């Protein structure tokens, strides 16, 4: 095997990224080496590409980007027994310590010592990546890796939608970027009675209807609160999944969430924001869930069951599959919003 690999890396403290060669990682006794077949582009990658304030405070340059992947195991450490050579795997991208209070109580998704692939250590926009074997999720090799690599963000959508009851409920998905689109599809698969997508991007609103939304509202043109209240007999929806991170969208969400309802927040505002605690939370008696990452490995299992049952439309969620070298076009598409999930073909092997 060759000694170096091609990577997409953050090379300088400014907008953009570049392709450079780096040594192929060497693995520890508890790690595996993966030949990356596909890697999908995440909003986090866009933040790093744009080098926003968060990236400036977190990313150490040079840094191999990316964290959502599918690939083939080509080397295993001496202590690894859970994975074998040739397995097609994806990766839980939060590497947790396993020893803190949160890990020991089954809440590894909020581990005190989390490291994230492509953020705190070299990531998946590379021909090869080394990860702890415990972070590998073994896939059905018959499924196209273009769909297998999106299971990590799918887990975020599942975590957000299923932080409370879904079946028979009315639910609004606010912000239908790639993870929001997945949330729409998950809500449909789990039997939500009424699914309402809210966004400002017509492309994604149209796609949300293909994925299961009964109503798709453009908050630039539609009186969202009025329409949702009319559709719910004046009560509002049982559940709001806030995926956008836009303060105005979050404030509006309180206005159409039913009293006693659930608000699950995955979207991250760029700056601190003010909330009317008395009127938006206390007097409405609502429950708020902050969603971070995936419940390790519960949401992976939930995703597998939905995929195996044919309940998810991954072929519609993934709208673009591009060559690895065409990464700049991928980021242009992400900035435009005229896409669902974008996947880069990193390596071509037996699994095409």
CA 246 to chain centre: 17
CA 84 to chain centre: 27
* Degrees to nearest 5, angle at CA 307 with 305 and 312: 125
DSSP helix/strand/coil, 227? helix
DSSP helix/strand/coil, 196? strand
Q: Which residues contact 14 (CB under 8 A, 6 or more apart)?
A: 51
CA–CA gap between residue 7 and residue 14 (Å, rounded): 18
Q: Which of 4, 7, 38, 44 is catalytic?
A: 44
Q: Which of 7, 26, 38, 47 is catalytic?
A: 47
Under 8 Å between Cβ of 63 and 122? yes
> Which residues lie across from 217 on neighbouring strands?
198
Active site residue 47: yes
CA-nearest of 129, 54, 149, 100 to 343 is: 149
CA–CA gap between residue 87 and residue 72 (Å, rounded): 6
Name the burial class of residue 151, with classes exposed (0-12), middle (13-18) and buried (19+) by CB atoms within 10 angstroms of its CB: buried
CA–CA gap between residue 246 and residue 271 (Å, rounded): 10
- The sign one gets for the Cα dihedral 117, 80, 299, 100 is negative
Neighbouring CB atoms inside 10 A of 350's CB total 9
Instruction: Give the residue numbers marked as catalytic.
Output: 44, 47
């Amino acid at each position: 095997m060759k000694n170096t690999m091609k990577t997409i890396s953050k090379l300088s403290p400014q907008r953009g990224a570049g392709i450079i060669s780096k040594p192929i990682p060497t693995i520890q006794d508890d790690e595996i080496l993966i030949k990356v077949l596909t890697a999908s582009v995440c909003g986090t990658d866009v933040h790093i590409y744009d080098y926003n304030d968060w990236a400036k405070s977190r990313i150490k340059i040079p840094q191999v980007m990316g964290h959502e992947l599918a690939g083939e195991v080509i080397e295993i450490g001496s202590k690894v027994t859970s994975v074998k050579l040739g397995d097609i795997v994806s990766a839980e991208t939060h590497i947790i310590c396993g020893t803190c209070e949160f890990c020991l109580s089954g809440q590894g998704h909020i581990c005190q010592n989390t490291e994230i692939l492509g953020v705190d250590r070299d990531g998946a926009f590379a021909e090869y990546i080394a990860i702890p074997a415990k972070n590998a999720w073994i896939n059905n090799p018959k499924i196209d890796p273009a769909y297998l690599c999106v299971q990590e963000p799918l887990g975020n959508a599942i975590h957000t939608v299923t932080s409370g009851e879904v079946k028979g409920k009315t639910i609004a998905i606010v912000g239908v970027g790639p993870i929001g689109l997945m949330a729409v599809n998950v809500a449909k698969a789990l039997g939500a009675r009424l699914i309402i997508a809210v966004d400002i991007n017509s492309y994604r609103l149209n796609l949300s209807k293909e994925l299961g939304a009964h109503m798709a509202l453009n908050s630039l043109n539609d009186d969202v609160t009025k329409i949702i209240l009319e559709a719910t007999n004046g009560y509002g929806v049982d559940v709001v999944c806030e995926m956008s991170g836009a303060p105005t969208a979050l404030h509006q969400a309180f206005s159409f969430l039913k009293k006693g309802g659930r608000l699950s927040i995955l979207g991250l505002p760029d700056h601190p924001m003010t909330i009317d605690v008395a009127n938006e939370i206390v007097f409405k008696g609502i429950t708020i869930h902050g969603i971070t990452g995936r419940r390790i490995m519960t949401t992976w299992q939930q995703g597998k069951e939905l995929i195996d049952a044919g309940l998810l439309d991954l072929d519609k969620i993934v709208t673009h599959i591009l060559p690895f070298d065409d990464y700049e076009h991928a980021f242009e598409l992400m900035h435009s919003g005229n896409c669902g999930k974008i996947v880069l073909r990193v390596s071509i092997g037996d699994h095409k």
